[in-house]
A and B are shown apart, each in its own frame.
Chain A
Amino acid sequence: MRTQSFFDRQTTLVLSLLAAVAILVPSMNGLAAPGSALHLSDHLVPLLGKYVCFALLALSVDLIWGFCGILSLGHGAFFALGGYAMGMHLMRQIGPRGVYGDPILPDFMVFLNWKELPWFWHGFDSFPFAVLMVLLVPGALAFVFGWFAFRSRVTGVYLSIITQAMTFALMLAFFRNDMGLGGNNGLTDFKEILGFTVQAGSTRIVLFVLSVLALAGGYLLCRWVVGSTFGKVLVAVRDAESRTRFLGYRVEHYKLVVFTLSAMLAGIAGALYVPQVGIINPSEFAPAGSIEVVIWVAVGGRGTLAGPILGALLVNAGKTWFTAALPEFWLFALGGLFVFVTIFMPRGILGAVGDLWERSSQRFRSGRQPQPVTHAAE
């Protein structure tokens, strides 16, 4: 089928682009002499790394929204939880180098008179444990949340709103200083990761390449999931949930698996994001942030996998430029983009490109095309 080949070409294209980026960025930053035309200045590396993490987050949202019709307005929560898990590890790595020189307690605990490390901080001094938590904490939350929500058939708008309630509740909770996670200030002032200085240029490059690899891996994983039989059922759930259920599929199980998987991807994105931006704080849980992720997906084209990557990169690059060049107009531009995309490009940039592709191929061989994306029923 043409759709299939479109996807295959897309996969090749995405992977080769990512590979090119993973090679070009480090070499332009490290090999090209500063001042030369090909040099990529140091401050752009973590910035690009941040975009790549956002792209992975957008990809995880696309997996459930684009292919299973679950619109999560709380994916920022999974991203932030992954980030906090990594942040806690980095805090423990500071050791006695904090301003108070306490070998165990992070600075914020010292000046708030905490006497000992809360139980949930134990284990985070080990990197493998932290990595495990990066996957497990968001995954477990998604599993429990999804278990309840999908079993009782909470769908559509209701699901979106309770995911929003979830991330809002988490934000309030993490803002509390009594949580033992730094309150509003969050976790910051990281020193090193696995023995490498976080601020060092080489560490940055490695983190960037890791992020690109994670994005490529995430993309392949999603590609594999949606291409499998399992993925076909997901699309069936998206397009006609009741019908799928009547056909004998346990819809809630499919949803639960893909929701948990998506949350874990978001967690990985968060874990890679934190060492690159150097701070994690509760504002990452803000409901507005999660809504913004959805718009990245919508801009790029949901249900396309490559679209959300493109959308995240474009919108964030736009944000970076606007907030520097025309600070007052950033919200106008973002708001306008939301409205424009939903009305005029319901399937996003890649959706529109895909349409063009199909239309041109239809001239060669007429025949009915399976619609890659329908407007998901509620």
Chain B
Amino acid sequence: MGAALAALAAPLFKVLLMYCLHHILRALLLLLGMASAALAGPYEEALPKFANDSYADTDAAIGAVASSGNPLAVDVVEALRDGRLLIGSGQVFIRRSSGELINAATGQAWGSPAGELKPVRINNRLRRAIEAALGNLTLLSPDAGRRLEAARAVFRSRDEAVLPTLEKAIAQESQAHVRNALENARAAILLSQLDALPMQRLGAIETLEARGDQDALALLSNLPPDATPEMKAGAGKAVAGIHTRLALWEAVQNVWYGISLGSVLLLAAIGLAITFGTMGVINMAHGEMVMLGAYTTFVVQEIIRAYAPGLFGASLFIALPLAFLVAGAVGVLIERTVIRFLYGRPLETLLATWGISLILQQGVRTIFGPTNREVGTPAWMSGALEVGAMSLTYNRIAIVVFAFSVFAVLLLVLRYTSLGLYVRAVTQNRRMAGSMGIRTNRIDALAFGLGSGVAGIAGVALSQIDNVSPNLGQGYIIDSFMVVVFGGVGNLWGTLVGAMTLGIANKLLEPYAGAVLGKIVLLIAIILFIQRRPRGLFALKGRAVEA
């Protein structure tokens, strides 16, 4: 019992102690602030410059604040970066993320409402100055992430004045990757520092050679004019090495771009592989199903923004089933009202579905307006993963993974579910399937709904990389047909191989031929390929061919 009480009390006590300490510290800080206000050091002299609304003055103020050593300096610079540094009646305030206002000069809370306060404006040059200042200020931060960021900022700014702090940071750094970044930053400074020891500068060249990326290349190819012959030789060797390495990575990167473009094509085409491939319906409204999926995502995000902003990160997952349902339902509707009258007349399904696509486009234009709609990217899909000398952006990784998952699921559905069995049966021999008791009408509707639904979820993914506008679908329809026809109709594997081949070929051609010529070359290649193999890569064999 007692032990339990003690166990409870201990953290409570800790919290109390922390609270007291915090307040004492704050009081001390305040005192310090007032004292220094009375003294009017460089910090206090610099602050009013923010109120001048002149970029040059703000620039000077950033430098002065950052080098003042005042404990509020980091807060001020960060607030400036985030647009939370406010000016009003000649005084400067910081708005905390909680909304609380603080007088930047004293650190005291400022109760009065933010009536006539305006944020200090910044431009790109100032953003760079802020970044550099923050880098210098946070090199010794207790947070490893911030130290890493600081190291990168110093690498970019190459501010010689920060070298002593940098040495100190390297000496006490415990995490290898942060230390590496810090050493890189030091190397970048040393390389251009005229009074550094030759040994140090040669060491810097080695460090940069090990780094081996574009930035290192840039530093090494622009040696300062005083470089010694040894340095030049070392740098020359390093540059050659980095070039080879980068060329290798570039090839890998192009293949990756190809895979990611292939995944986009796969997503766009896979629904078509079902409606066109297995049902023989030339669904020109396929692209509009993709568009409906993208607009569903937009609507879901709008609702989330309005009612549950916390769910934003999950918005795409919420949108997926809804997009499937919306596009699938429209698909079933189209099948029941139009397509079922046209089975056996594939060329006429083309015309009718083209008409439907025009109606859907104009419908969406009427409802949502002709302009692009904003679909946000959840935080977990922003940014990039650095692998070697290439960056894989998270949204592309997500799309590649997603495309393959959709493919796998679809394959399993067709292979192992009764719906899949029926669909395959109807595809292979409609009359026989009917005689076996399969309701072919129903299967047609469901299969068309499935294909359209898959197009809908493709729309969710494509909303992340393309415009969400009424024309969204138009951009994909021809490519989708090329993929399906190239891969071979009636075969999902063909669609996969077709999409990847076209994607990778396109991206490998692009650096040489340019985006347009590359695409033209590919189209011609497909036309010629169809002449050789009129039924695509993976052609169905046997009786189904003549059906």
Interface residues of A (CB under 8 A from B): 71, 73, 145, 148-149, 151-158, 160-162, 164-166, 168-169, 172-173, 175-176, 287-288, 291, 294-295, 298, 328-332, 334-339, 341-343, 346, 375-376, 378
Contacts and interface: CB of A to CB of B under 8 A. Distances in A.
Contact of A168 (B351, B485, B523, B534): B523
7 contacts: A151-B531, A168-B478, A172-B516, A328-B366, A331-B362, A336-B355, A378-B346
Interface residues of B, number: 44
Given A160-B350, A338-B352, A378-B347, A172 B478 contact: no
A20 B160 CA distance: 90
Given A145-B527, A291-B351, A341-B351, 17 more contacts: A71-B347, A153-B534, A154-B530, A156-B347, A162-B530, A165-B482, A169-B524, A175-B516, A176-B517, A287-B478, A295-B354, A328-B366, A335-B356, A338-B354, A343-B342, A375-B344, A375-B345
B416 interface: no
A318 B356 CA distance: 18
Contact of A332 (B348, B362, B517, B520): B362
B251 interface: no
B366 A335 contact: no
Contacts of B401: none
B362 A152 contact: no
B127 to A, nearest CB: 36
B295 interface: no
Given A157-B347, A169-B524, A335-B362, A291 B354 contact: yes
Contacts of B307: none
A328 B362 contact: yes
A176 B345 CA distance: 37
Given A162-B527, A168-B523, A346 B348 contact: yes
B261 to A, nearest CB: 16
A165 B363 CA distance: 27
Interface of B: 280, 282, 284, 338, 341-342, 344-352, 354-359, 361-363, 366, 474, 478, 481-482, 485, 516-517, 519-520, 523-524, 526-528, 530-532, 534-535
Interface SS of chain B: helix
A265 to B, nearest CB: 21
B338 A339 contact: yes
B355 A154 contact: no
Contact of A335 (B342, B358, B516, B534): B358
Of B280, B345, B358, B517, chain A has the most CB atoms within 10 Å of the CB of B358
A168 B481 CA distance: 12
Nearest to A145: B527
A342 B351 CA distance: 7
Contact of A331 (B338, B359, B516, B527): B359
A173 B520 contact: yes
A161 B531 contact: no
A314 to B, nearest CB: 16
Given A153-B534, A156-B346, A161-B481, A338 B351 contact: yes
B447 to A, nearest CB: 18
Given A158-B534, A164-B481, A343 B523 contact: no
Contacts of B356: 335, 338-339
Of A145, A149, A291, A339, chain B has the most CB atoms within 10 Å of the CB of A339
Contacts of B530: 149, 154, 158, 162
Contacts of A331: 358-359, 361-362
Contacts of B351: 291, 294-295, 298, 338, 341-342
A97 to B, nearest CB: 32
A152 B523 contact: no
B352 A339 contact: yes
A335 B526 contact: no
A169 B348 contact: no
A151 B517 CA distance: 27
Contacts of A148: 527-528, 531
